[in-house]
Structure formats: C-alpha cells, structure tokens
Structure 1
C-alpha cells in the first residue's frame, strides 16, 4: 500500500489536523496531529490510528508501522524546542 493511499484513507477516516506518512512497504512511519488526541493516553492515541489500518495489516498490505501521535499543543511544543 502506498504512503499517499494510507494518508488519504486515514484523513478520510479520522479528523486529523496534520498527517505525515513515510517509509516503504516494510515499515511505515505515521505522524498524526490533531485535537482528537486531547485528554487521552498514548495507548488510546495509537489505537485511534491503528484500528482503521488493521485490515490492511492482516491482508499484509502493510507490514509494520510506527505511530507517533500529538495534540496540536504537543506538536507545536516539539517543533519549537527543535529550533
């Protein structure tokens, strides 16, 4: 499954503000940013992203994924401290 297809599918499925999908068929890295992650723990955040992708993982269209999730505030803080 191509990165742009994963990105398009997740953006249609989950109300996210930003989404970055990189990698290849062996390992996909997903960085998701959105208000949807406010007030929930890291496991719950990852489950939101993982759930719609489960069928593609089972069908072996996606081999492995790495999921990083952020609220808008967390994302802004992370990118401010890098500079």
Structure 2
C-alpha cells in the first residue's frame, strides 16, 4: 500500500483536515491525522478511529506496522510550530 493510498483511505473514511503518511520501507508507516473528529476523545479512542479504516490492510499484511499520532486542529497548530522549531 502506498502513502497516497493510505492518505486517501483515511480522508474518505474520516473527516480530517490533514493527513501525513510517511514510510521508509513500504511496510512500516508513520501517520499524523488532524481533525475535529478527535475533539474530546481520549487518545485510545482517537487511535481506534484511525485504525478502523486500516484494519483490512493490516490484516492482509499490506501494512506491517503503524505509528499514529492524532491531533485536533488547535493542538496541531500549536504542536506543528514546536516541531518546526526543533528542526
């Protein structure tokens, strides 16, 4: 599965403002998902929302490992600035 396919799958399944997918080897993926759908949810529930659309790809071994970070739009605006300062 390509980064673009994962991005599109998540955009089609969830109401997200931004999705960033990175992979060095095509089987281990780092995902950043930003959306109001995460407002008021515990981190485990946010992770479950993102894992849901990916379960078929994970089960078929199209994706071997996934690291997910979720943000509300306000949290992403704040943390994105901090990430840029650290570069």
Q: What count of residue pairs does the alignment treat as equivalent?
A: 83
Secondary structure of 1:69's counterpart equals strand
Instruction: Give the corresponding residue for 1:37.
Output: 38
Q: Show structure 2 runs of 5+ residues with no match.
A: none
* Equivalent runs, 1:36-55 vs 2, <5 Å: 36-55=37-56
Residue 6 of structure 2 is aligned to residue 6 of structure 1: yes
RMSD: 1.0
- Superposition deviation, residue 25 in structure 1: 2.0
| TM-score where L is the length of structure 1 | 0.94
| TM-score where L is the length of structure 2 | 0.90
What does the per-residue CA deviation read over 1:16-74, in whole Å, with 9 as the maximum and x for residues that have no partner?
00000111323100000000000001000000000110111010111100000000011
CA distance in 2 between counterparts of 1:81 and 1:56 reads 32
Q: Show structure 1 runs of 5+ residues with no match.
A: none
